Chains A and B, each alone.
Chain A
């Protein structure tokens, strides 16, 4: 089977830094993606890690450790508009990808 785990909720204040963790157990693992979804909207791509280490894109960074089956998304300089759900997704055999249950981030003023 395939499973991913994430915290269900995270709360932080504007300007802070927050880390959302993801652990996975999947077969044929190729890489880990992160997606953002605002209420009522479609998921949008944030990052993809195929190799161990940190990938940085503006205020967002993503990390992968294949040996630990673990990754995280780091959001810096939080803004109100970052309030959304964040999903990790495992890329399996380069063919399908399975989502975690999602982490709801609330950014407080």
Chain B
């Protein structure tokens, strides 16, 4: 596809369940980002990959959150033992090169609801 694709679009998880969210970035894009967006708030940075290397994971809220991008393209954000406060929209973005002087392309997000 032409844009960043995320799946699933919606996920309902029972508290304590593990979830995996997938991001397909634009082909050839080096940089990949994950964000968390709570209702009514701006997106908050979680983690950043340059190719397969995770260069920054300072935004991950706890050790229950884990992200990978093993072959430098598709990325997966995994949340273990989900809790209600994990309910949010999870956004993935990619850019062709490092970001200061170029644009990031965002997917439509995955809305996670923990019940």
Indicate, yes or no, whether A interacts with B: no
- Residues of B at the A interface (CB closer than 8 Å) are none
- Residues of A at the B interface (CB closer than 8 Å) are none
